[in-house]
Structure 1
Amino acid sequence: MTIESWLAERTAPGTLGPQAERVAHILARQPQFASYASARGIAERAAVNVSTVVRTAQQLGFEGWPQLREDLRALYLASVSSGDTTLDSAATEPAAQMLRQDANNIAALATPDNLAAIRATARAIKAARRTLVISSGSGAGPAHILSYLGSIAGHDIQLALDSATSQAVQVARLGAGDCLVTINNWRLTRTLRGLTRLARERGATVSVLTDLRSSPLADDADHLIITPIEATHPGPSLTGVVAAVQAVLSELADDDAARASGRVQQLWQELDLMDDQP
């Protein structure tokens, strides 16, 4: 059982309220941190007050935060497949702990459902007349990687990261035979949600990379890739998101992609663009 499904079993959709939902999202997105954090630590990451954390625990059927944390910790430790359960934040240096967490995020990414969605996303990009990639905030980094390396491999992949109005113009041009890839992690903007829905309504194939299976973006996704983003510091880790992008790119690799990449590199050499030319 995932942390997200465990939480879903304990409350009906839409009954927690906005602030309590933010607490629940911390539990689902950062279970390692939450398994050992104080109520104040959870409140700081969720940007709520401590009493909201306590009320959320009670809404989920617990007497208070310590009781919820105890059950959450047991569930999380049971889900750690590596057998390394030395997870206290004081156990290692921050850098080493973050590297270990990123390794866990990548391992959690490789589920059968995710692998199937990754392969389907690559097929959609290959078949599309053109592909548009949209994101916001920290998701811009993985979006750039997909667009840039996918373009070098010979695919018409365009990036839309400018203003909401500019993104809307580009999404409005999509139709049947096109593909939209939406990359979202941490907070979801209204713009990103609306543009993803617009692409689906216009007939484009929609692939979504997001960190929660319960994300509103899932309603408009033909293919859904769940990317763990837990970090040992405030905010998301993007390592799992980049790994998912790299997995899609690996599925795009074929003889045509190799020839396209070779032509690009030959062009770079002819234009003398690189300082490491032989």
Structure 2
Amino acid sequence: MTEAVGADGPGASARLHQLFEGRRLTPTQRRIAHFLVRQAAAVPFLSSMELARMTGVSQPSVTRFAIALGFDGYAGLRAHVRDIAPVATPTDGPPHNPYQQAVQTEIDNLRQLASLLADPAPVEHAGRLLAASRPLPVLGLRASAAPARGFAYFTEKVHPDVRLLDEGGSLLVDRIDAARHAGASALLCFALPRHPREVLDALAHARATGLTVVTIADGTFAPVAAHSDLLLPAAVGTGLVFDTVGAPTLLGQVLLEAMCDALPDAQARLEEFDARAAARQLFVD
């Protein structure tokens, strides 16, 4: 059964995540769900037409989404959000331009992440699982390759054997098998939209081999939830042509911090790296 950060924690974001958890949502429905989580305080003031326009979907899609969640219609969903969300007062000021709005969305996503991290136990648990895995495979394909690569780069400085899996294809399962046969006990996956089908297949295979799958995803309603043992959600921004991933990237660094706390020789490894870097004059500062 998948665990999720904040699933039982306080706050509107956590309760909305709980509403979506375990449901198979379409891509359009996931887009609406992302908006509700990020802008819960504003939703009680929006009509179904306004919500549809702000999320780039049709008005009937909003109604079908509400019904899929068990409400009679959008009015019931809006009332539910009003009950759990903090009261917000609409502003009469000039609207943000699209660039400012994208930045504001990332700020809101980070605030939501801070709320979910009020209970640090899931991240600390994930840190211990990953720290104990020798080797540690880190999976991220397509849009998720960059955050996975960044995480692996820093983790290599404190963990003795990190194996980055950032290319798909027929060799991916072979590399997962090789890590498992070498002694790996856990796998970390970055799963951000759009979600490649082969990521789902790879995670299903990893769990079948006995690996514990920890996933950083864009929400507990992401398609990878059913294939993860521990899911750590962080919303992405969808206001620009391509998604922005400030919150998932920061969550990766928070997870690495938890890993460092579980690695008794992390500080010694960092000092060794700094000594080697100084001897080789790697950096100018």
Correspondence for 1:185? 192
- The match for 1:106 among 103, 109, 113 is 113
Correspondence for 1:71? 79
Aligned-residue Cα RMSD (Å) equals 3.6
Correspondence for 1:262? 271
**TM-score w.r.t. structure 2 length?**
0.73
Aligned residues: 262
Pairing of 1:42-53 with structure 2 (within 5 A): 42-43=51-52, 48-53=57-62
Correspondence for 1:239? 246
Conserved? CA contact 2:149–2:166, under 8 Å? no
**TM-score w.r.t. structure 1 length?**
0.75
Correspondence for 1:160? 165
Conserved? CA contact 1:3–1:27, under 8 Å? no
Runs of 4+ in 1 over 4 A off after TM superposition: 36-48, 86-93, 230-237
Conserved? CA contact 1:30–1:231, under 8 Å? no
- Identity score, percent: 17
1:249 aligns with 2:256: yes
Conserved? CA contact 1:208–1:221, under 8 Å? yes
Shift of 1:132: 0.9
Shift of 1:62: 4.2
Correspondence for 1:5? 18
Shift of 1:52: 2.6
1:25 aligns with 2:33: yes
Cα distance in 1 for residues equivalent to 2:275 and 2:187: 30
Shift of 1:120: 1.9
- The match for 1:126 among 123, 131, 134 is 131
Unaligned 5+ segments in structure 2 are 1-11
- The match for 1:61 among 60, 64, 71 is 71
Q: Which amino acid aligns with 1:197?
A: A
Correspondence for 2:236? 229
- Of 233-242 and 157-166, deviating more is 233-242
Q: Which amino acid aligns with 1:56?
A: F
CA 1:228–1:182: 2 relative to 1, 3 Å: same
Cα distance in 2 for residues equivalent to 1:87 and 1:258: 48
Cα distance in 2 for residues equivalent to 1:239 and 1:228: 9
Correspondence for 2:4? none
- Of 191-200 and 249-258, deviating more is 249-258
Q: Which amino acid aligns with 1:190?
A: R
Conserved? CA contact 1:160–1:166, under 8 Å? no
CA 1:137–1:45: 2 relative to 1, 3 Å: farther
CA 1:164–1:243: 2 relative to 1, 3 Å: same
Conserved? CA contact 2:189–2:215, under 8 Å? yes
Cα distance in 2 for residues equivalent to 1:260 and 1:271: 17
CA 1:6–1:273: 2 relative to 1, 3 Å: closer
Conserved? CA contact 2:190–2:217, under 8 Å? yes
Q: Secondary structure at the match of 1:158?
A: strand
Cα distance in 2 for residues equivalent to 1:226 and 1:89: 33
- The match for 1:200 among 194, 203, 207 is 207
Q: Which amino acid aligns with 2:234?
A: T
Conserved? CA contact 1:122–1:251, under 8 Å? yes
Q: Secondary structure at the match of 2:199?
A: helix
Shift of 1:56: 3.4
Conserved? CA contact 2:140–2:148, under 8 Å? yes
Conserved? CA contact 2:137–2:188, under 8 Å? yes
Unaligned 5+ segments in structure 1 are none
Q: Which amino acid aligns with 2:154?
A: L
CA 1:198–1:260: 2 relative to 1, 3 Å: same
Conserved? CA contact 1:105–1:230, under 8 Å? no
Shift of 1:267: 2.0
Structure with bigger RCO (C-alpha 8 Å, 6+ apart) = 2
